[in-house]
Amino acid sequence: MGQRIINKPDLSGFLFLAMIINKVEDFIKEKNLILNGDKIVVGFSGGPDSVFLLYLLNNIRDKYNLEIVAVHINHLIREDDARRDEEFSREFASRLNIKFVSYKKDVISYAKEKGLSVEDAGRRIRYNVFNDEAKKLGPNAKIVVGHHKDDLVETIFLNFLRGSGSNGLIGIQEKNRNIIRPILCLEKSEIINFLKSNNISYVEDYTNLENDYRRNKIRNELIPYIKENFNPNITNTIRNMSNIIKDEQEFIEEYSNNLNLIKEVNNNICLNIEELKIQSRAIQRNLIIKAYEKINGNRKDLSFENIESILELIYKKNSSFEIKNYRIYNYNNNIIFSIKKKIKYKKIDYKINEKITFNDYIIKSEIVDNTGNLELNKNIAYFNTDILKGDLIIRSREIGDTIKLEGFTKKVKDIFIDKKINKYNRDLIPLIEFNNEILWIMGIRRSSLYKINKNMKKVVKISFERVING
Amino acid sequence: MGQRIINKPDLSGFLFLAMIINKVEDFIKEKNLILNGDKIVVGFSGGPDSVFLLYLLNNIRDKYNLEIVAVHINHLIREDDARRDEEFSREFASRLNIKFVSYKKDVISYAKEKGLSVEDAGRRIRYNVFNDEAKKLGPNAKIVVGHHKDDLVETIFLNFLRGSGSNGLIGIQEKNRNIIRPILCLEKSEIINFLKSNNISYVEDYTNLENDYRRNKIRNELIPYIKENFNPNITNTIRNMSNIIKDEQEFIEEYSNNLNLIKEVNNNICLNIEELKIQSRAIQRNLIIKAYEKINGNRKDLSFENIESILELIYKKNSSFEIKNYRIYNYNNNIIFSIKKKIKYKKIDYKINEKITFNDYIIKSEIVDNTGNLELNKNIAYFNTDILKGDLIIRSREIGDTIKLEGFTKKVKDIFIDKKINKYNRDLIPLIEFNNEILWIMGIRRSSLYKINKNMKKVVKISFERVING
């Protein structure tokens, strides 16, 4: 291995070569994957897919004026094989006169450190390195990787069986930001036949980290079973379906983006409920996913059921849904996606007429005439002027808090339970204390102390509003 | 069997009964499947699904004021079993005091006669009978059938493996025109458990025509394999995906319908190319499918590749694509879907100044001044006035036709071949004959006979335009 890299191909090889190269070139043109003068980082493991890819790029290098760097990553798994693969790759690139760089990365340690599977760790390391190398080539450099049609179909099966929206049924895209996949139009068997017909060597794939258990089962059991029993042409069938769904998703994405409904306010992501309501279900779902993506970075972990629960919030005022460290809630005619903050215990001395902020409550107070026509809602409470005789305290709840009601005393905790206030909100809500008594669980329940009556000329009005800040 | 139909259920049965009935009732409400006062035809084979369905409908009959007719079809396959099933069904319905009608239909003969598979024949016969019975009940009567979640998932797998657009991944819908499926929310195992817990008898499914080879393989091999190796909850996973895709399809359908781009002109279906061009690919595909559906009645037999070929016509003037007995072509800034007519041989005597129609050509002529500034295009030809000395003939091509060109004679057939005119168009194109010579293959090639020159004061102008009429 590695001795004769490229031999003079026989005639059938030549014809086959021309056909395959044409197919890929047509694909590149049709999908606009590579442009004249492109600077390209190629992921180059030395396995058949990447050997074919590099060979192909070398073939079109002059025509497109390409600048190519082949990047090899030694994952330090099975070190003997890995060293051999690295040497093979270096030599292959050198014979094609293509710039070669290699990195040694301890994927096992990285996986442990980050709590990732070895496959995910490997993928992340590779794309980090590719991106670094691409940056060195310039701002528009592309990353070219060797996924083929079988990879696409396996990925779609994985997503289909695991459960995913239609997005998962697109599988792998030939172009995704700066990553392109020019041989996605070829089947694995075409690649192998090509390499064999042309006597092009490659290393075996057994250090390939992508070969995880489920994917292997799909490749070696499920797809052969389906080819035999249902559809010998399943690869193309699935690829066609993937194309249809991709176009539909692009349309939905574009439509949804043009609505421009996702707003950012104080680090929260907001969707106006009135505008959300009039959209069709598919667009509502897309907007929920987009809003979540915006706060979380990706749509992973957002299940079908999660999305349904968030959509239900549209019709449930002041209710909320929690996922990971996010709180998503209906407030003030918006669905708000916010990062849950650890709410700290707070205790503040308060004087009437001050305006203060307590968590996301803005609290103010004043002495007003008792006109008999006082504004009444759950954001306002009135007390008699006896509370001016000492200091008010505004604070978070404490264990054992009680509140005096008409004729009896109740635990604050029980009131929270009765009102179905979740723990997060319990920490958020300010209590007003005077003389060691709780006067008001703001917005929830007023005590029976310091009540007002119509004979009083002046009363103390305390009120609040909430701002969206998570 | 058939002796004890409904026994007093035990306690666990009662609880289970309540739970299952609730689940179905919630589903009926959520999806608006059944309304107060509905008149309902129930497909009733006597198998577990339809027994459960009838039992359920009987349970909610008073609440919804339903009028129910149970319809049984004896397919005359395995006649002993079939007779037993019919008797069981009649007795079951009678005990529930539900009106029962049964039909004997020779499905095997029907299948042979219509060239259908036995499954397709059975399906068609059943829905024909259901529709007839529904009409008897009134214009808004509904047909209720007993498909459940396992049927849905099997159908989606069938479509996924056979290849279909996203539409196939919706599977079975709970509501499709007048057909409703109230137990689509239940798994088969829930139905069987329910019937067993409540000691409700049913007949075995072995005369079920739906049990064809591929569906059986999916049910008995593929899905159990997937449950064991990939996802024990695959049924719900697929159902969720189906819901997502259904909503997306509804959105795309609605968007596409609102464009109102599909026109009918002279029994042809037309899509304006300028309007089609600006749509995104997904909408273009949807419009092509809709136009095809409009002319063909359904979208069956229209493959992914067919749709791609039709879409390519957008950029290919005057080219066409043929499928079944339809011709789809780019003409006059439209994509036109037309039924291919058998073009008959025609031969007409023609006099100058007449306006005549020949296939979809409108032909006219006049004597004009030879101004030296004559209008020139492929729809016009000029001849000298010698052709006024005899009769012109306009006719279809004949075997052996030749045309005199500058210095040589050519077969008309060879001209058609050179110009890549397909057979259909060859039959369509009129030839102008005078004195046993072909003067003009209209729109294609003029002979070198009866030419004009600048010394002539008057010349004969013959011209045509085409109308869209397939």
Note the pLDDT tens digit of each residue in A109-144: 998 998 888 888 888 999 999 999 999 999 999 999
One-letter amino acid of B21: I
Nearest CA in chain B to A241: B165
Q: Does B248 sit within 8 Å of A248, measured CB to CB? A: yes
Q: Does B251 sit within 8 Å of A282, measured CB to CB? A: yes
Q: Does B237 sit within 8 Å of A161, measured CB to CB? A: yes
Q: Does B237 sit within 8 Å of A281, measured CB to CB? A: no
Nearest CA in chain A to B166: A245
Which among B462, B459, B390, B404 has a CA at the least distance from the CA of B432? B462
- The predicted structure's pLDDT at residue A373: 85
For the cut 90, the answer to whether the pLDDT of residue A290 exceeds it is yes
- Please give, rounded to a whole number of angstroms, the shortest distance from the CA of A251 to a CA of chain B: 6
What residues of A are in contact with residue B248 (Cβ under 8 Å)? 166, 248, 252, 282
* CATH C-level class of A11-146+181-211: alpha beta
Q: Which pairs with CB-CB distance under 8 Å and at least 24 residues apart come from A86-94?
A: A86/A46, A87/A2, A88/A1, A88/A2, A88/A46, A88/A201, A88/A202, A88/A203, A89/A44, A89/A45, A89/A46, A89/A203, A91/A2, A91/A5, A92/A2, A92/A5, A92/A46, A92/A51, A92/A54, A92/A201, A93/A44, A93/A54
d(CA A382, CA A403): 16
Per-residue confidence band for A80, with pLDDT thresholds at 50, 70 and 90: confident
Which among A6, A67, A74 has a CA at the least distance from the CA of A36? A67
Per-residue confidence band for A15, with pLDDT thresholds at 50, 70 and 90: low
DSSP string, B175-228: EETTEE-TTTTS-HHHHHHHHHHTT-----STT-TT--HHHHHIIIIIHHHHHH
For residue B411, the tally of other CB atoms under 10 A from its CB is 12
Q: Which of B169, B234, B240 sits opposite A161 (nearest CB)?
A: B234
- The predicted structure's pLDDT at residue A49: 95
d(CA B362, CA B466): 6
Q: Locate the domains of chain B by residue range.
A: 11-146+181-211, 260-339, 347-466
Residues 6+ apart with CB under 8 A from B206: B78, B81
Average pLDDT, chain A: 90
The 8-class DSSP code of residue A324 comes to T
Q: Does A245 sit within 8 Å of B163, measured CB to CB? A: no
Q: What is the dihedral of CA B6, B10, B13, B17, to 10 degrees?
A: 60
For the cut 60, the answer to whether the pLDDT of residue A464 exceeds it is yes
For the cut 50, the answer to whether the pLDDT of residue A377 exceeds it is yes
Helices A11-30 and A188-197 cross at an angle (nearest 10°) of 140
Interface test with A, best of B166, B212, B215, B216 (most A CBs within 10 A): B166
Q: Does B241 sit within 8 Å of A165, measured CB to CB? A: yes
For the cut 80, the answer to whether the pLDDT of residue A2 exceeds it is no
Count of alpha carbons within 13 angstroms of residue B174, beta-carbon side: 19
d(CA B39, CA B67): 5
Q: Does B247 sit within 8 Å of A285, measured CB to CB? A: yes
ipTM for the whole predicted complex goes beyond 0.90: no
Q: Does B160 sit within 8 Å of A250, measured CB to CB? A: no
d(CA A57, CA A53): 6
What are A410's two structure tokens? Answer: 């109740």
d(CA A55, CA A61): 10
The contact set of B with A (CB < 8 A) is 160-166, 169, 214, 217, 221-222, 225-226, 229-231, 234, 237-238, 240-241, 243-245, 247-248, 250-252, 254-255, 280-283, 285, 304-305
Residues of chain B with pLDDT under 50: 1-9, 11, 207, 469-470
For the cut 80, the answer to whether the pLDDT of residue A16 exceeds it is no
Strands (E), B45-166: 67-74, 99-104, 142-144
Residues 6+ apart with CB under 8 A from A292: A299, A302, A310, A326, A328, A337
Q: Which of A164, A230, A251 sits opposite B282 (nearest CB)?
A: A251
CATH superfamily of A347-466: Phenylalanyl-trna Synthetase, Chain B, domain 3 (3.50.40.10)
- The predicted structure's pLDDT at residue A5: 47
Give whole-number Cα distances, B272 to A325, A331, B226, B296, in Å: 51, 47, 46, 19
Average pLDDT over residues A202-231: 83
- The predicted structure's pLDDT at residue A208: 55
What are B298's two structure tokens? Answer: 């359904």
Structurally, what CATH architecture does the domain formed by B260-339 represent?
A: 2-Layer Sandwich (3.30)
The 8-class DSSP code of residue A226 comes to H
The pLDDT tens digits for A451-461 are 999 899 999 99
The 8-class DSSP code of residue B394 comes to E
